[in-house]
Amino acid sequence: MTKSKVKALGIFSTAVVVTVGLAACSSNSSSSGSEKWKIGVEAPLTGSQANLGQGMLQGAQLAADQINAEGGILGKQIEIVQIDDAADPDTGVTAANAAIADGLNGVVGPYNSSVGVKTLPLYIKAGVVPMRLTSVNKTDGQGFTLQPMTNQIAPVTSQALTKFYQAKSVGIIYDSTQNYTTSTSAAVKKQLEDAGVKVTSYTAVKPGEDSYSSVVDQVKAKNPDVIYPAVYFPEGAKIAKELTPQSGGKATKCLLDYASYDTGYIQDAGKEAAQTCEVVGVPAPSDFKDSADKVDAFHKQFNQAPGTWSPYTFDSLKLLVDGANKVGNFDATPLTDQLKTTKDWQGWTGSVTIDPKTGNRTPATVVVTKVDANGEFHVDSDWAKVVGAPY
């Protein structure tokens, strides 16, 4: 749902404020007397996005373990509470309510915007400050985030299509079931049309289909310069496979939306097909300046590379705890006031400044990535040169 500032892009949030409030009897206050601080990680820990969710969980766990090894926070150790929403709003509500009832002092997540629209208000009502990874601007003001929002992602996507790809026509495929993909694809469509680019197709799809070949064929038939699928990575992988040229056929330029940016996309598509489409995303865990020690620590603890969002949940938990340490507790009102003042805080994902009106990071860390010969995402250096991004 970052991360190193993309100053050249000049993108700032301008969305409506939603005030974080306290319930009369909060989950936070009810658990403050326990032996540990309970920080939830809400993520799709099972289901089609489990790869993404497990990376989120591991990033937060690494941060918690480092804090605990240094003596904990405010005299207590941190306990990570797993909250599995399976990328489903109803499942998320059930899981969030159960975690709140057991007592929480804070929460990192959720990732899926459609889930966050339902679960973030539950945490806020319970007096639990969320460090969300949602991207839809409908969640502005509901806690804080270090990753990009729709109104920060869409301009980078439109700029890439026009300035980098120099597209005069674009075919758009979008997931019509998700708040994020519908809002972002609509924003990109408008920005392209305002720039004089012809949108040859604006075609809705639903996730979970075995194949999207018929849709891809219909969109390709209109001969767009670039195809832009605004879908999550399981669907993005299928579309990339269907766009991969066969037997020396002509390649179709493709830019996948931010929703597809996850290592699960590469695993599902396979390296060759994954290289068919570049992907709007954030810098890879190792792309951030001075990130080597964090990447090494992650490898050492989990015997694998960091997940796409591991750096973001790592920083989210550390920033949350840093704020609590400064105010002396996890109570929502003082903690919220403290986090609103965040400026130039340094973490794995670079420098973090929070817009106090929205709780969003500014500027956002949106980039265009490509899959390299090793089957790994990295910032596209050619894109960075064209748009003047510092990567």
- Per the domain annotation, does 292 fall within a domain? yes
- The candidate with the shortest Cα–Cα distance to 252, out of 273, 270, 230, is 273
Same domain, yes or no, for 257 and 300? no
| pLDDT score, position 288 | 94
Residues 232 and 323 in one domain: no
> What CATH number is associated with residue 156?
3.40.50.2300
Q: How many domains does the chain have?
A: 2
Residue 382 lies in a domain: no
Q: Please list the residues that pair with 81 across neighbouring strands.
A: 40
3-state SS class at 250: coil
Give me the pLDDT at residue 391, please: 73
Strands ordered across the beta sheet of 77-84: 77-84, 36-43, 106-108, 130-132, 144-145
Burial class (CB in 10 A: 0-12, 13-18, 19+), 385: exposed
Asked, for residue 365, whether it belongs to a domain, the answer is no
Model pLDDT, residue 337: 98
Q: Mark whether 274 and 295 lie in a shared domain.
A: no
Same domain, 256 and 349: no
Angle between helix 89-102 and 113-125 (nearest 10): 20
**Domain assignment of residue 348, yes or no:** yes
Cis peptide before 363 (omega within 30 of 0): yes
Tell whether 137 and 245 lie within a shared domain: no
Residue at which a domain ends, from 226, 246, 281: 281
pLDDT of residue 28: 65
Same domain, 81 and 94: yes
* 72 plus 91 within the same structural domain: yes
pTM: 0.85
What is the reported pLDDT for 251?
A: 77
Average pLDDT over residues 239-249: 83
11 lies in some domain: no
Both 276 and 312 in one domain: the answer is no
Residues 244 and 262 in one domain: yes
Residue 379, in any domain of the structure: no
Q: Are residues 230 and 191 in the same domain?
A: yes
pLDDT over 90, % of the chain: 86
> Are 170 and 228 in contact, with CB atoms under 8 Å apart?
yes
- State which of 281, 300, 318 marks the end of a domain: 281
- What residue numbers bound the domain in which 254 lies? 150-281
Kindly indicate the confidence band of residue 55, based on its pLDDT and cuts at 50, 70 and 90: very high
pLDDT digits (tens, 9 = 90+) for 246-298: 755 677 899 999 999 988 999 999 999 999 999 999 999 999 999 999 999 99
pLDDT of residue 245: 86
The per-residue pLDDT of the chain, averaged, comes to 91
Is 100 inside a domain boundary?
yes
- For the stretch 92-142, pLDDT in tens is 999 999 999 999 999 999 999 999 999 999 999 999 999 999 999 999 999
251 shares a domain with 132: no
Are residues 271 and 162 part of one domain? Answer: yes
Pair of tokens at residue 377: 């995402």
pLDDT of the residue at 249 = 62
Amino acid at 301: Q
Residue 161's alpha-carbon distances to 152, 182, 241, 368, 374, in angstroms, are: 15, 18, 21, 10, 25
CA-closest candidate to residue 119, choices 151, 153, 144, 94? 94
Provide the percentage of residues in the chain whose pLDDT is more than 70: 91
- Mean pLDDT of all residues in 330-357: 98
301 in any annotated domain: yes
How confident is the model over 153-186, as pLDDT tens digits?
Answer: 999 999 999 999 999 999 999 999 999 999 999 9
Q: Sorting pLDDT into bands at 50, 70 and 90, what band is 10? A: very low
Degrees to nearest 5, angle at CA 36 with 75 and 361: 85
